[in-house]
Amino acid sequence: MKIEEIKKRYKDEWVLVEVLAEDELGQPTDVEVIIHSKARDEIYEALKETKTKYTYQFYTGEIPKKGYAVAFDEI
């Protein structure tokens, strides 16, 4: 699966993937989703179980612009 597909499918979520292939610059080109969640802590917990895999984690939402602050509240 491509990173762009994941960003569309899991909007505003944290995603942990296993990297299956990368380009000459080291950017992931093919990945498999391990877990996705609104809660970053769930990604960190899953990361502990992936010690032998080449992984990549990212947030699919909009990154706040410089000078702005964001507060998170669990619901």
- Cα atoms in the 13 Å half-sphere on the side-chain side of 4: 1
Give dist(CA 23, CA 10) in Å, integer: 23
DSSP annotation of 20 reads E
Rounded to two decimals, the pTM is: 0.81
Q: In what order do the strands lie in the sheet with 55-59?
A: 28-37, 14-22, 55-59
pLDDT in tens, 14-44: 999 999 999 999 999 999 999 999 999 999 9
